[in-house]
Structure 1
């Protein structure tokens, strides 16, 4: 597998994306459960099929671009592969010195956002710290760790130690990045509306903002057509008050994620099992979302 990753990493991005688009559709038709989940998630979100069908190929492109992203030499800059929109918001937030919490859903290429930020704004002394879950396979764990050992890019495991690491980084005026639409373990989330349905939502993002007073920003990496690279989009993030209840804060962050997703629904991972039940929770505990409570 490691040899395969290295081989694929040498192919042009346009070739990888072309292969990925085909694999995305093959996976969609080969897996009935994946196909049902994809269709159900988009139906609940109230989006027309024409707006979301592109996400099928997009999921395959995401998988095929991983070797290119992870195995790219650290001394090879992204250069013209990345275009920035809203970079001034990052500059303004850095000038405030409060630290930055960068939030992105499973939209577009979320791996590129951390690498692009590290290359343009970070340094060894002041890196961006991203939250991740260590891979179960030993070979993949080694690849991930090596790929993210880049100047200006640090990683924090999804553990108590990792949370403490991120808090320290924010209090030093640094930047952290995480995906708040990732399903958290039992006891580390609350039920909140998300795209027309209640989803078990992490409280970590809001807690980090409340405890450190950091600046919230939204960021996502648009995957450009024909392998032309990526466009990084930055927007103001949700202002979470210090006294907001966990459910209210999680709902606010979910709404901001929805706003990004609805900008480019064809680049969201609709096949992601966002509404799964964390182990140990009673499915009856998930409240029903009324039509008037849907975000967007």
Structure 2
């Protein structure tokens, strides 16, 4: 009876073999929202408890997804290998390392040792992953249609190293942050040109990949956060990064948020670029104290919060109705 009940439950909810790696983008988005609300408590005087609660949700989601994906790796290793070697889906493994880096910032406020440990793990895995994926692309024979915004994810991960580790006390952290800023900044620029060229000159991406277009703003906003964290100031170069990312967000917003785009796990691809934009706007407003920047920061934070609440509810809905984990 118990076996029958378990089988029926698996059939109703689905199988872990269909757990998509890109769902880790949800941890990135919610971690980014937690950090944004922590910044908002300094700018707007909101309760820091809001950021703490969201941070707990991000940690629980990461644990749940890690257990699920490790189970998939153990039970269906060929599925994981298939995702990792896929020219598009493989790039979403970068969402795991970025999640670890962002959680190092979320948890670092409670335990320095835990935050530093996660940062070291996240930095090491990020550098390895970036090496693997850049090397893979340089093997040649890449299909132009595969040049999609998801390519940027492993590269953005190197920029997140500086965002999370700008104040790390290790004597070697300064050079590691500089190394990652260099890798992320230059490679992201090259990828950006290639991807935009593909979007202009080739057929539109499949509808399921449309939400990932917002990833194009990530190098500029994460780059802004990493650069300002490293330099400890906002100069004109940082301002250019922020404002171009903001402009690109406005352009892409109307191309992504359309009723014709079906909902799925890929929609979480909008969460972390928006979270990066929100954190960048809040940091800019905190340092510059411009009423316009404060208004922009408030609007983006509100929009980010609404979008993530909707994504969270809709994801739970497709999980329990069996659509999320069904092949």
Q: TM-score, normalised by structure 1?
A: 0.34
Which structure's residues are more often strand, by fraction?
1
Which structure's residues are more often helix, by fraction?
2
